[in-house]
């Protein structure tokens, strides 16, 4: 699969060693907290000092060393609106490193938003999504709302939406399909005309209210 770039999410596609199906306990609570701490520390250090934390300061379990797809999402604390979201569909590097790098990208290089400035890290909450590798589907009946993220590929157009997005917006399957078309710069219904569709699942966890 070629690199997938969308208006909503920046994606790098590389080989992944992440399990094809993430068990509910793939990352335990402690491992989730490690990744969240890395993301929060990165946000604070990068915005205020243009530095990133040394990963040697954090635990490195086998799961945290796996190369899995992962997205870091930043949302406004006051209204929950998206403030930045960037990640990898396939594993490009160990999860700890990927979360650190994606946090910087989401905060400063999501082209839909002005970069966050020093002090603004306090205005956002962090959400992390750890992904399974995408699987190509031949029928839209395979898409389960709330379980699957969705990728569309047609010609030079690519679009991707995470599994939690249709739940947040109250979409049904048709809405989800049209939305991913729009993110790819395609008209509604383009998925019916020669496009390739892929689904993936994700373990999603959020920062505790601060």
- Domain positions in the chain are 29-132, 135-200
Pairing of the two strands 157-161 and 149-154: antiparallel
Q: Give the residue from 125, 77, 70, 78 showing the smallest Cα distance to 97.
A: 70
Name the architecture of domain 135-200.
Answer: 2-Layer Sandwich (3.30)
Q: What pLDDT, on the 0 to 100 scale, is given for residue 208? A: 77
pTM here?
Answer: 0.86
Q: Give the integer Cα–Cα distance in Å for 156 and 3.
A: 10
Q: What is the DSSP string of 24-47?
A: TTSS-HHHHHHHHHHHHHHHHHHH
Q: Which of 13-27, 56-70, 117-131, 156-170 has the lowest average pLDDT? A: 13-27
What is the CATH code for 29-132?
3.30.700.20
Percentage of the chain beyond pLDDT 70 is 87
- Please identify which residue in the block is written with the tokens 């569309």: 152
Cβ proximity of 35 and 128 under 8 Å: yes
């Amino acid at each position: 699969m070629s690199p997938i770039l969308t208006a909503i999410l920046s994606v790098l596609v590389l080989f992944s060693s992440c399990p094809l199906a993430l068990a509910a306990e793939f990352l335990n609570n402690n491992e989730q907290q490690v990744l969240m701490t890395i993301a929060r520390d990165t946000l604070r250090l990068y915005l205020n000092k243009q530095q990133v934390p040394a990963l040697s300061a954090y635990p490195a379990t086998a799961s945290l060393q796996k190369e899995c797809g992962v997205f870091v999402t930043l949302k406004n604390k006051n209204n929950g609106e998206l403030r930045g979201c960037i990640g990898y569909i396939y594993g490009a590097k160990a999860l700890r490193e990927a979360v650190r790098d994606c946090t910087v990208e989401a905060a400063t290089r999501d082209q839909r938003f002005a970069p966050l400035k020093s002090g603004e890290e306090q205005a956002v909450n962090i959400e992390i999504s750890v992904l399974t590798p995408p699987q190509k589907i031949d029928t839209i009946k395979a898409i389960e709302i709330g379980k699957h993220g969705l990728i569309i590929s047609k010609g030079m157009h690519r679009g991707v939406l995470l599994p939690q997005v249709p739940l947040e917006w109250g979409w049904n399957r048709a809405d989800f399909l049209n939305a991913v078309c729009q993110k790819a710069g395609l008209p509604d219904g383009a998925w019916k005309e020669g496009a390739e569709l892929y689904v993936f699942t994700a373990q999603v966890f959020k920062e505790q209210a601060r």
